[in-house]
Amino acid sequence: MKKRLDDSQQRLSIRHGFAEVKAGHYIPHEAMKPWLLSLGTSHELPPPKCVCGEAHDGPKPRRYRGV
C-alpha cells in the first residue's frame, strides 16, 4: 500500500513539474550548471533566475488537483 502511495505522489509531482515548465517557470540547464559549479568556490555566482522573470523566493505550498 505504501509503495502505491509513493508512486502516486511521484506521478503527481512529475505532472506538477511539467505544468510548471509549460507555464514558463523553469531555469535552463545553461544557467544552472555554472551556478552549481561555482558553489563552494571563492567565486560563487548568484542563483540563476526563473525564465519568467519573477522572483521565486522559495517553495510555496501547493495543492495537487488534476495538474
Tell which residue, 55, 3, 51, has the closest CA to residue 31.
51
**Radius of gyration of the chain measured on its C-alpha atoms:** 16
What predicted TM-score, i.e. pTM, was given to this entire model?
0.63
Predicted confidence band of residue 57 (pLDDT cuts 50, 70, 90): confident
Domain positions in the chain: 2-38
The three cell numbers of residue 10 are: 511521484
For 4-55, what is each residue's pLDDT tens digit? 768 889 999 999 999 999 999 999 999 999 999 999 999 999 999 999 988 7
pLDDT of residue 6: 84
CA 26 to chain centre: 6
